[in-house]
Amino acid sequence: MSTSARTPAPASSTARPGRLVVLAVCACAMVAQSMVAAINLMIPQLASSELGLSSGQLVWAVDAYVLVFAGLLIPAGVLGDRYGRRQVLLAGLGLFALGAAVSALAGGPALLIAGRAVSGAGAALIMPATMSIMIQLAGPTGRAGALATWTLALGLGGLAGNVVGGLIAQFLPWQALFWAMLPLAAVLAAAVARTVPDSPRHPAATDGLGSLLLIGGLAAVLHGIVEGPEQGWTSARVLTGFAAGVLLLALFSWHGLRAAHPLVDPRLFRNRRLRAAALGSAASFFGLFALFYVNSQYLQYVKGYSAALTGLAIVPLTVGMALAPRVAVRLQARYGPRPLIGGGLLLIGLGLLCVSTADAGTPYPLYAGYLLVLSCGMGLSAPALAFGVVSELPPGQAGLGAGLNTAAREVGAALGVAVVGTVLAAHAGGPAARAAGFVPAMALGLRVVAVLVLAATAAAALGYRTDRPRP
């Protein structure tokens, strides 16, 4: 087939195909995001399953997905720039389904964690490709609206993951969640192959060594955080993990400064806006995923909700993420990104502090209000943060920008799960603790996370201190 056969036709003749492309692309992003939310609904079932997961292994079962996701996002974005985003998206769907099958067949912790990691690699190919395709279709003048639509898809993915994950956890074995991904990925792959046009190719080089250094460094740091409560914070195993993490991340930076085509050139972060936006993206998901990890456990262990009811009870957490982005785009056009970044991140920190006060006697409407505050903070800040990263790079590096933005998010997510999971393991006696031990441990964990989010809020707002509204 000739290249011109895949070239998008003028907007006047493709209004309907354009909508079909957007639906197919957004559905892919929704599915990848839904697995992040759904696995948290499975935590009680996994903790009591025949797999025999320890507290640390349970954290890794959640974090393996986001860790590999984060480490491969940037090279995945570069692959989309080089080989075509449609092709990379299809490959990601295939890898995502393969990892789901491995997870469903797992008979022990190691295979479950490995399957989650493979699915994370597939999600890494999916996410920057979907974001880049949206930007490509929208053109320079429609970037902000495209990013808002993409953010809406992520919010709806979180909603779907919570509701469907809760229903599966209530009525089916945990393996059903992973088996369901196979036919879903097949349908999406067919839709993408039929509707999504090829994208322009740009010369770009992948950096395998840089990817290995980044994943290894993050994994070593997370290992130290997760193993700290059980092994002791001054044990040789934990200190070795932290030391190895620092060394590998330092080597990653050194390599980036000297390689001809690095995964990430550290000099990019001389750009104050890009640096602030990346920090803000990481901080927002640091807070959100810390909440994800404790939220379903609180509602089931402390409030006594069923898994299905828990999935529905989490819906307020997705409302703001689904509805606020469109409002955020209009506000950004008038006032610039700084108020949205600072105000949105502030709401996330305040929402975490509010949730940290919840106990067995907290009325659900009040708790839902806490979730809505945090959700609105996510919805207001996410488009401005994504735009802050992508807009500072040339259009030919849209894949790199999408990968960098999403990588910052997923690094924050992995750290958020590790930090709050570690606090729970240290103070509540494990993930299946009774309400008496779980509530104070949850409160402490969320307050630690909230303080760090608020500190990052101040730093990100300062990064935009000279911002002016853009026409």
A 10 A CB-CB count for 338 gives: 23
pLDDT of residue 428: 64
Which amino acid is it at 455? A
Q: What is the pLDDT of residues 417-447, one digit of tens each?
A: 888 888 887 776 554 445 568 889 899 999 9
Q: Which of 172, 438, 424, 418 is nearest to 304 (CA)?
A: 438
pLDDT of 200 > 60? The answer is yes
Q: What is the pLDDT of residues 329-386, one digit of tens each?
A: 788 888 888 888 999 999 999 999 999 999 989 999 999 999 999 999 988 888 888 8
Burial of 345 (0-12, 13-18, 19+ CB in 10 A): buried
Q: End-to-end CA distance of the chain, in Å?
A: 41
pLDDT of 146 > 80? The answer is no
Which amino acid is it at 362? T
pLDDT of 232 > 90? The answer is no
Tokens (6 digits) for 438: 């779980």
Confidence of residue 235 (pLDDT cuts 50, 70, 90): confident
For the domain bounded by 18-193+263-463, which CATH number is listed? 1.20.1250.20
Q: Which of 358, 363, 344, 369 is nearest to 295 (CA)?
A: 358
pLDDT of residue 433: 47
Distances (CA, A) of 229 to 44, 151, 432, 458: 20, 36, 16, 30
431 three-class SS: coil
Cβ–Cβ < 8 Å for 41, 169: yes
A 10 A CB-CB count for 314 gives: 27
Least confident of 7-11, 127-131, 181-185, 279-283: 7-11
pLDDT of residue 79: 80
